[in-house]
Structure 1
Amino acid sequence: MAYAGSAVLEGDAAAFAAAIRSLVNNPRFSDVTFVVGRERQEVFAHRCILACRCQTFQGMLCQPQPGAQEPWPPQTPLVLSHVQPEVFLAVIEFLYTNSVTLNSLIALEVFTSAVEYGLVDLRKLCVEFLTGALSVELVCEALQAAVTYGQMDLQQHCLVFVEDHTREVVQTRGFHELSGVALGVVLQSDRLAIDEPDLIRAVREWAHVSSVECITEAWKCHALRKGRGAPSRLYQCRRGTQPREHHSYLQ
Structure 2
Amino acid sequence: MSSMCVKSGKIDKFAAQMKLGLFSKEFADVKFVVGDQKKIIYGHRIIIGLRCALLQKLFQESAARPEVPIVLSDVNPETFQQMLDFMYTNTVQISQNSAMDLLGTAIEYGLQDLQAVVCEHITENLDTEFAATALHAAVYFEVSHLEQHCLSFIADNANEFLESKSYLEMGEQAFIKAMDCDDLNVDETEINKAIFEWGKNGAVKSGTPLKLIVSRVVLKLRIAIFDVENLERIEKFSEAEGDYIPPEMFQFAWKFHAQIKNGRSVPVEGKKWATLRKGTKPLEHHQYLNPYID
Q: TM-score range by the shorter chain?
A: 0.7 to 0.9
What is the alpha-carbon distance in structure 2 between the residues aligned to residue 171 and residue 12 of structure 1? 48
- Please show how residues 49-60 of structure 1 align to structure 2 within 5 Å: 49-60=47-58
Structure 2 partner of 1:246: 285
Determine the C-alpha separation between the residues in 2 that align with 1:9 and 1:128. 27
Query: Secondary structure at 1:213's aligned position in 2?
Result: coil
For 1:117 and 1:246, how far apart are their aligned partners in 2? Answer: 53
Asked if 1:130 is matched to 2:133, the reply is no
- Establish whether residue 157 from structure 1 lines up as the match of residue 156 from structure 2: no
1:80 corresponding residue in structure 2: 72
Q: Would you tell me which structure has more helix in proportion to its own residues?
A: 2
Cα distance in 1 for partners of 2:275, 2:185 equals 14
Q: Which amino acid aligns with 2:277?
A: R
Return closer, same or farther for 1:173/1:109 CA change in 2, 3 Å cut-off. Answer: farther
| Contact preservation (8 Å) 2:154, 2:161 | yes
- The aligned residue for residue 179 of structure 1 is 171
Deviation at 1:110, TM superposition (A): 1.0
RMSD across aligned positions (CA)? 3.0
CA distance in 2, matches of 1:215, 1:115: 32
> After superposition, what is the alpha-carbon deviation per residue over 1:177-229, rounded to whole angstroms, capped at 9, x for unaligned?
3222212211221121222122112112223515513542x457xx9xxxxxx
1:212 maps to 215
What is residue 226 of structure 1 aligned with on the other side? none
- How far 1:142 moved relative to its partner? 0.9
TM-score normalised by the chain length of structure 1? 0.78
Post-superposition CA distance 1:32-69 (Å, at most 9, x none):
122333443322111121111101111222234xxxxx
Residue 241 of structure 1, CA deviation: 2.1
Asked whether the 8 Å contact 1:143–1:155 carries over to 2, the reply is yes
In the alignment, which residue of structure 2 is the partner of 1:96? 88
SS of the residue corresponding to residue 183 of structure 2 reads coil
Aligned to 1:142: 134
Contact 2:14 2:89 in 1 (8 A): no
Closer, same or farther in 2 for the Cα pair 1:174/1:34, shift >3 Å?
farther
Alpha-carbon deviations, 1:81-136, whole Å to 9, x = none? 43333221111011111222212221221111111111111111111111011121
1:237 corresponds in structure 2 to: 276
- 8 Å CA contact 2:29, 2:43 repeated in 1: yes
2-structure distance, mates of 1:85, 1:29: 21
Letter in 2 for 1:170: L
What is residue 35 of structure 1 aligned with on the other side?
Answer: 33
Whether the 8 Å CA contact 1:35–1:77 is kept in 2: the answer is yes
SS of the aligned residue for 2:281 comes to: coil
Contact 1:170 1:176 in 2 (8 A): no
Distance 1:37 1:137, change over 3 A: farther
CA contact (8 A) 1:21 1:96 kept: yes
**Match for 2:215: what amino acid?**
V
SS of the residue 1:86 aligns to: helix
Count of aligned residue pairs for this structure pair = 231
Corresponding position of 1:195: 187
Contact residue 31 and residue 40 of structure 2 kept, 8 A: yes
- Aligned pair in 2 of structure 1 residues 63, 172: CA closer, same or farther (>3 Å)? farther
Question: Is 1:117 matched with 2:116?
Answer: no
CA contact (8 A) 1:136 1:169 kept: yes
Question: 1:78: how far off?
Answer: 2.8
Normalising by the residue count of structure 2, what TM-score does the alignment of the two structures yield?
Answer: 0.68
Q: Which has the larger radius of gyration?
A: 2
Structure 1 residues 248 and 84 mapped into 2: Cα distance closer, same or farther (>3 Å)? same
Gaps of 5+ in 1: 65-69, 224-230
2:253 alignment counterpart: none
Counterpart code for 2:91: S
Shift of 1:143: 0.6
The one-letter code sitting in structure 2 at the alignment partner of 1:183 is: F
